[in-house]
Chains A and B, each alone.
Chain A
């Protein structure tokens, strides 16, 4: 405790009281923020887990298809088939604010609307596995994008939660007890000072009364 270093004055007491009330308000607010962040984080993380499992499963299937396609088709034919893709995906990013954490929100945009545009090749020379794999991958794409969004949000929120938790703990276990101890120390010291002043005054009064009585007695004796 740092009580030995502080000066027990009224000014210091007022300062500490102000500090304590600010710390208390901050603590309450941060605690609320942490709780709400945690609630939203847990929802997101659960979704993240489900999405990831789904995407990994779908990717496994798509990859198997691509592997078969590569085995069944020659490199040149495959490279030519995918040389000039007709379709193109863009992302429009927006910033979403979750409890002051800025997370991205993606919106998928494709160059053309036609569903068949993912096949940039004629079907004559390529293996059918390629078509299946490409369309499977296309079906997974929305999940993949959502996964990117959710996973990034989780990552950013976990950092924020950690920061907020540290702040809450520092306030709860360090700053608030410290300020309370200082306030107690100063009030005790001030009270003690007041009592000692009072006693001193009473003592002086007694002495003055005794002196006056002595004087009065001496004057009477002289008469």
Chain B
């Protein structure tokens, strides 16, 4: 049994508590990196992270790109959508195909 966690500023994530998701309120990038590491070591399967926080620790996120677990997924927080989540998917397509063929019809 592995669980789900969410990281970010308290205002963005406190609602997840009601669903039984592990809530880890952090705003400091350094603390966030440590928290991410700790969660990964605890074999957390899915770690959601607010986009605002994710954009500040890209290196830490890249660490878990190659491994199967945990899946670190940026989601929009209370401060709004920064587009980093979609940008990550776009980068993924570019890496695989060589050019962005999924999103270019939009931009």
Interface residues of A (CB under 8 A from B): 38, 41-42, 45-46, 48-49, 52, 55-56, 59-60, 62-63, 65-67, 70, 78, 82, 85-93, 95, 102-104, 106, 109-111, 118-120, 130, 133-134, 137-138, 141, 144-145, 147-149, 151-152, 154-159, 161-162
Contacts and interface: CB of A to CB of B under 8 A. Distances in A.
B60 interface: no
B12 interface: yes
Given A49-B89, A156-B68, A87 B19 contact: yes
Interface string B70-98: 01010111101100011011001101110
For the complex of A and B, list the 3 residue pairs with the smallest distance between their C-beta atoms, beginning with the closest: A88-B20, A152-B71, A158-B96
B96 A85 contact: no
Nearest to B1: A90
B9 to A, nearest CB: 11
A104 B71 contact: yes
A183 B68 CA distance: 43
A109 B80 CA distance: 29
Contact of B95 (A59, A70, A152, A159): A159
A103 B3 contact: no
Interface core residue of A38, A103, A133, A151 (most chain B CB under 10 Å): A151
Contacts of A137: 15-16, 18-19
